[in-house]
A = this chain, B = another copy of it.
Amino acid sequence: MEGGNRGLFDYGPPGTALQTNIGDAWRKHFVLEENILELNCTTLPPEPVLKTSGHVDKFADWMCKDPVKGEYLRADHLVESVLESRLSRGLNGPYKDSPKLEEAGASEYHNTLAKIDNYDGPELRELIKRLDVRNPDGNGEVNPPTPFNLMFKSTIGPSAAAPVYLRPETAQGQFLNFKKLLGYNQGAMPFASASVGKAYRNEILPRSGLLRVREFLMAEIEHYAVESSIVDNETLGYFLGRVMLFLLKIGLLTSYGWIECVGCADRSAFDLTVHSAYSGSPLVVKEVLSEPVRVEEWQAVLEKKLVGPRFKSDAKAILTSVEALDQTALEQLATQLTEKSSTFVELTSDLLAISKVTRTSNTREYSPNVIEPSFGIDRILYSLLEQVYWHRPHDAARAFRSVQVFSLPLAVAPTKVLIVPLSAQPQFMPIAHKLSARLRSLGISNNIDSSSASIGKRYARNDEPGTPLGITVDFDTLADGSLTLRDRDSMNQLRGSEDEVIQAVKNPAEGIESWEEISRRLQPSQTAMRT
């Protein structure tokens, strides 16, 4: 359900259960099976973190205002939709207030559309002007594109002077904790961290239901790899395989159309490096080498005997400043000192000597490369629903009614079992309630449908919310305790004792046994066709 603000959704009970189940499957598949270190970081990271990562300055889309309508449009989407619309109306079709689209124009349009994600503001401005792109709603001209930062901004604490942003991704919180995670992993490399949580992007114009929203559930892995591009590619390949296994597990097989649900990015060492530089606390791995290596580096030697008398009480500050210089600064200063143009508090080469020295080292420090598989859970959920949806047509001969089915796998289906008492007569209900409670205590969600509709109709209307299994309580149950178990997709029915049927629900829910395997050990139901 979409709320009063566009791009912000409420999930109802089945959607919530589906989202929770996908998240749980993700956690089991990655965090548990891969032994990944999971973090739960604040959604309001410190402002300097997002400044350092580049999000405050650069995490923006280009937007155009239609000054007449007062509407804001995302510039690349505007160009895209207008060009696509012109193309779809044919090469020689007219379009309002513009010349006819000639062969050469069409070819340029296709080229532009192929590169639409890569244009910056000035390029989009040029395109909009030259191709006379206007707001499709009213055909008005739009103002030139301006950048719009996608982060929600607020202030923290009572002073109203401290800015804070809702995080646009979970990754930064993971990077900040790199040193603690490395320590928790006893210094061993490689390893990975993960986070599942909300992220926020103040989209200019949310659209396409759950596909472009302003608040979404992200599941991100940051895999810290040693700095070698060959290993990175191996890691990427490994994760692509694991991602595919996960998507198969939750029932996502192929895709209609194209939407990015999972991105596997090579973030190199960018984030760890910029945070190291800002904080002065290097996010690096210290590796003990089996064979010592010789390291060439710049070294500063201050002539303390001369510096002390000359600078007196300032001498200590000078010493501290020199010690804080990094390799790049030392190299620059070395040149300045040689050229006698130093402005470094009147330090001259007799007071400060900077030279290249070679030392033997038993360790090496490096910033690991980061491979990032990032999952948009809401997009996965939406794509899954789109994919598992099908229509079972009416079939009078086999007494199938026309019904919409969501073939959600047992692992993620919101309700696992529908319990169907043959009728609302009092003898069936206590058995149904006892069965329901027993399944719940095993963590298996279920509903009882005790309405007066036929069993077939009650099953059919639970095929739409995707309930995978049904259990019928009937007169045979009263006689010998046996129950009928019905499979949503095949509509096949099996018969067994209460314990057998519960085991036949529990095992597939835990991924231990399939319906086919269960069909081999339980009896086909004799009452199957009467529904």
Residues of A within 8 A of B (CB): 1, 3-6, 8-13, 15-17, 19-20, 24, 27-28, 32-33, 35, 37-46, 48-49, 63, 72, 148, 152-159, 162, 164, 166, 173, 176-177, 180-181, 184, 198, 200, 202, 204, 214-215, 440-443, 445, 447, 510
Contacts and interface: CB of A to CB of B under 8 A. Distances in A.
Given A28-B443, A44-B215, A180 B12 contact: yes
Given A24-B24, A33-B441, 17 more contacts: A1-B177, A4-B48, A5-B162, A6-B157, A9-B42, A11-B41, A12-B177, A12-B184, A13-B181, A35-B440, A35-B447, A44-B200, A152-B156, A156-B202, A156-B214, A158-B202, A443-B510
Contacts of A33: 440-441
B152 A148 contact: no
A153 to B, nearest CB: 6
A440 B20 CA distance: 20
A362 to B, nearest CB: 21
8 contacts: A3-B46, A3-B176, A5-B157, A12-B177, A44-B200, A44-B215, A152-B154, A152-B155
A153 B43 CA distance: 15
Given A38-B16, A39-B11, A46-B3, A158 B204 contact: yes
A7 to B, nearest CB: 8
Contacts of A148: 158
A457 to B, nearest CB: 15
Contacts of A156: 5, 152, 202, 214
A16 B180 CA distance: 14
A45 B157 contact: no
Contacts of A5: 42, 44, 46, 156-157, 162, 164
